[in-house]
Amino acid sequence: MSTLPVNQLPLAPLGAGDLIDRAIRLYRRHLFTLIQIAAPPVVISTIGWVMLTMAWRRAFITSSGSSLGFYVLLGFGGAALAVAGHIFGLIVMGGAARNLVTHLLWNHPVSVRTTYQAVRSRFWALLGASMVMLLWAGLSLMIALFSLYMVSIMVTVGVVISTQIAPAWFSVVLGAVGFVGATVVALWVLFFFVGRVAYVPQAMLIEGKPIFESVSRSFTLARGNVRRLMAMTLFIAFATYSALMILVIPLGWYGYLNGIDPLNAAQWPAWYAIGYSIMEPLSSIVLAPVWMLGLSLLYVDERVRHEGYDIELLAAQHLGQMPDINVTSPFAPAIVQSPGRRSPPPPPPPTPLPAGSVLGLR
């Protein structure tokens, strides 16, 4: 494990393991503050899932038309809250990224107030950017599923042909390897496209860019991040699933001792179904900060790789803030002084000199 302080960037780019290690160490250092930052979006999603669970269970057993209408509206409201919670999580990610960079830059404390002040300064722009990200993620998922479908067809055809000319064990091995390969290809395609918009909130809050410039900026930065983004996502997914099992298994044991079959969801009583629906948000509230830290560190690392961002941060740490003059970095500032303020435009290009003149004299 690296011995560098967690608030000091190394000069070398970070690999997937280093990014995860740095995120975990930052998480351990600011555990309760980060959980408070991640809590509001998760609480909103939890309320939505509870409402949706209650409506889903009651809508099929009620005999009253008015009650059915109420449960349908309750279900739509719960689904809307669940989606709003996830969108709010994307919005909070931008504020957390700005707070993290100020921590790396000037050792400012990581705090709930600072994060949500940054979120409030550009809330509506972040909301629009989050909608763009969700639409792009949906399109990326469709492309990944289509890739999985096409590769699966080719694997199936290959298995059918191999059964006619090869032993049965060879066909089984070929099918297993082929479908694993198809899954890997689909995941790579998914992360290749989704990774294009991974840095939109960071570009908005750290560089002060508007929505579509932030999307373009994220596309520019997201070069060669597929493996690291995939590794970080799979790590957090497995960690979240492990935390979920720690919560769900005791609930299942308690339900089994009270005559409830944990595998038959149709027969669950309301209290058990609601308790089960709360377990997933509770597990994600513990791991969501790691995801926010990981994406923020990945953004910083992309700028280190492509733009020498570590040198900018070191200069900002030792030389202080740049004067507020009409001068811009060729890439983007280390961090804008106000997240709601755009950096000044670049100066106009110089007027070309007349042909045959050196100093503009004839």
Query: pLDDT tens digits, residue range 184-219?
Result: 899 999 999 988 888 888 888 888 888 888 888 888
User: CA 234, CA 194: separation in Å to the nearest integer?
Assistant: 14
Within 10 angstroms of residue 311's Cβ, the number of other Cβ atoms is 13
Which pair of structure tokens corresponds to residue 271? 């209290």
- pLDDT bracket for residue 302 (50, 70, 90): confident
Given this model, what pLDDT does residue 146 score?
93
User: CA 182, CA 152: separation in Å to the nearest integer?
Assistant: 6
68-84 confidence digits (pLDDT tens): 788 888 889 888 998 88
Question: Taking residues 44-63, what's their average pLDDT?
Answer: 81
Angle at which helix 309-319 crosses helix 270-307, to 10 degrees, equals 90
pTM exceeding 0.75: no
Q: Are 195 and 226 in contact (CB under 8 A)?
A: yes
Of residues 248, 319, 309, the one with CA closest to residue 280: 248
Residue 286 lies in a domain: yes
Residue 218 lies in a domain: yes
Residue 283 has pLDDT above 80, yes or no: no
Residue 253 lies in a domain: yes
User: CA 212, CA 217: separation in Å to the nearest integer?
Assistant: 8
167-189 confidence digits (pLDDT tens): 888 888 888 888 888 898 999 99
Q: Are 227 and 17 in contact (CB under 8 A)?
A: no
Q: Classify residue 62 as left (phi > 0), alpha (psi -120 to 50) or beta.
A: beta
Given this model, what pLDDT does residue 333 score?
58
Average pLDDT, the chain: 77
Angle at which helix 270-307 crosses helix 31-59, to 10 degrees, equals 140
Residue 321 lies in a domain: no
Residue 6 lies in a domain: no
Q: Are 61 and 288 in contact (CB under 8 A)?
A: no
Q: Which of 6-10, 266-270, 345-349 has the highest mean pLDDT?
A: 266-270
Q: Does residue 223 sit in helix, strand or coil?
A: coil
Residue 325 has pLDDT above 60, yes or no: no
Residue 344 lies in a domain: no
Residue ranges making up the domain that contains 169: 16-310
Q: Are 25 and 38 in contact (CB under 8 A)?
A: no
* Number of domains observed in the structure of the chain: 1
15-28 confidence digits (pLDDT tens): 777 788 888 888 88
Residue 8 lies in a domain: no
Of residues 199, 231, 232, the one with CA closest to residue 306: 199
121-156 confidence digits (pLDDT tens): 888 988 888 889 889 999 999 999 999 999 889 888
Q: Is 134 exposed, middle or buried (0-12, 13-18, 19+ CB in 10 A)?
A: middle
Q: What is the DSSP string of 245-295?
A: HHHHHHHHHHHHHTT--TT-GGG--HHHHHHHHHHHHHHHHHHHHHHHHHH
Of residues 357, 334, 342, the one with CA closest to residue 9: 334
Q: Are 189 and 142 in contact (CB under 8 A)?
A: no
Cα–Cα distance list, 75 to 85, 265, 319 (Å) = 15, 18, 55
Residue 182 lies in a domain: yes
